[in-house]
């Protein structure tokens, strides 16, 4: 992988979207950052770009609690569609929930690389992106 990534943020919190976007831009690791307020919007985008690897994200930061389609519902649909993508997409579930049930549920979904508790810090993002380069 290069050191420039298409990054997707799926979160209904505008302030969080803005903050993580600014941190990622400061790290200069993004080729493109796209943000969605719910899982359904993001899923529609992924389906529309099914065969367009240049548009598909390399990494997704996915919130749990969102209107319309939450993070777990998104993952149910993502798992069904994953075989159709030629591109490896790394997914991190990012939530303010410290509920052990949510954490365990996320860890039981093999497509989720890790569960990160908000607020996510610049150092954590840097480590995550460095790990992507090693994959």
Alpha helix (H) residue ranges in the chain: 14-27, 39-48, 71-81, 100-107, 122-134
Let me know if residue 135 belongs to a domain. no
Report if residue 89 sits inside a domain: yes
In this prediction the pTM is 0.93
pLDDT digits (tens, 9 = 90+) for 77-92: 999 999 988 899 999 9
Report, as ranges of residue numbers, the positions in the chain whose pLDDT lies below 70. Answer: 1-3, 30, 135
130 assigned to some structural domain: no
The domain total for the chain is: 1
Over the stretch 118-132, which tens digit does the pLDDT of each residue have?
988 888 888 888 888
What residue numbers bound the domain in which 35 lies?
Answer: 5-123
Which of 117, 43, 30, 115 is CA-nearest to residue 79? 43
User: CB–CB of 6/29 below 8 Å?
Assistant: no
Residue 103 belongs to domain with CATH number: 3.40.50.2300
| pLDDT of 1 | 41
Q: Is residue 59 one of the residues assigned to a domain?
A: yes
């Amino acid at each position: 992988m290069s050191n420039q990534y298409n990054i997707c943020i799926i979160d209904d919190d505008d302030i969080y979207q803005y903050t993580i976007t600014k941190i990622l831009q400061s790290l200069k690791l993004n080729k493109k950052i796209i943000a969605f307020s719910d899982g359904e919007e993001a899923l529609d985008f992924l389906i529309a770009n099914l065969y367009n690897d240049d548009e598909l994200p390399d990494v997704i930061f996915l919130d749990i609690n969102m209107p319309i389609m939450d993070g777990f519902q998104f993952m149910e649909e993502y798992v069904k569609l994953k075989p159709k993508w030629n591109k490896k997409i790394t997914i991190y579930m990012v939530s303010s929930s410290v509920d052990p049930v949510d954490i365990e549920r996320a860890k039981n979904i093999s497509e989720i690389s890790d569960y990160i508790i908000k607020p996510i810090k610049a150092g954590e993002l840097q480590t995550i992106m460095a790990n992507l380069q090693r994959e």
